Amino acid sequence: MKIYYDFHIHTALSPCGDESMTPNNIVNMALLNELDAIAITDHNTCENVKAVMKVAEDKDIIVIPGIEIETKEEIHVVGLFLDLESVYNIQTEIFKGLPNIKNKADIFGSQLILNENDDVVEELDKFLMTACALSLNKVIDIIHEYNGIAILAHIDRPSYSVISNLGMIPDDLNTSILEISRFSQLDKYIKLYTNYKIIQSSDAHELGYIGISHNFLEVDAKNIKSIFNALIN
């Protein structure tokens, strides 16, 4: 069966995310755009994942716990996980390696933690839009330790991607999944990287971009495990 997906969505917790990116708005926009599965992937944190999952509990959509990690090489890696506990464990590892810098909301934007009613319950003080102390290889290995999937994010972009920062995709990386950004040509990258699984997500920081690529995966069933199997295989 086909499931339509968007595996790279930010909430209002990412300082670059619009404040309209609340749990209810995200889920409802995803449903409006006929998505079957989404992933919440804020910068270096997962604190809004639980609220989005709670909003989706009685709706016909899968919310995958996720996070977008910036490695010490300033490369972005999306991690997807089977459960909340795993992604919170990853956040703990990442927070240990983030510099002790306070966010300047007037410059970078607010970092809002929300509940399932879209109420602001906390404003995160630690600045999220920066590199952690872990290498690209280490980040991928830690994601796998918690049974997650590591995706090299927006490889076509001129910044914060493995190709822009290293000039290549190293052979020793323990992942075979690449993401391209929303306006690239999927067929082109499938032909270029025949040894990799290529996906395309929105990297939405605003509601209007959620599901804009309208891509699908072939899966055996509409659940997270089947999605993971489709991505790995």
Mind listing the pLDDT tens digit for each residue in 46-67? 999 999 999 999 999 999 999 9
Number of domains in the chain: 1
Question: Is the pLDDT at 233 greater than 90, yes or no?
Answer: no
* Domain span at 97: 2-232
Q: Give 182-199 pLDDT, tens digit per residue.
A: 999 999 999 999 999 999
Q: Over the chain, what is the mean pLDDT?
A: 97
Q: What CATH code is carried by the domain that includes residue 10?
A: 3.20.20.140
Q: How far apart are CA 201 and CA 184, in angstroms?
A: 10
Degrees to nearest 5, angle at CA 142 with 182 and 180:
10
213 vs 5: CA distance, rounded Å = 9
Query: What digits encode the pLDDT tens for the residues 9-49?
Result: 999 999 999 999 999 999 999 999 999 999 999 999 999 99
Checking phi first, is residue 109 left (phi over 0); if not, alpha (psi -120 to 50) or beta? left
Asked whether the whole model's pTM tops 0.75, one would answer yes
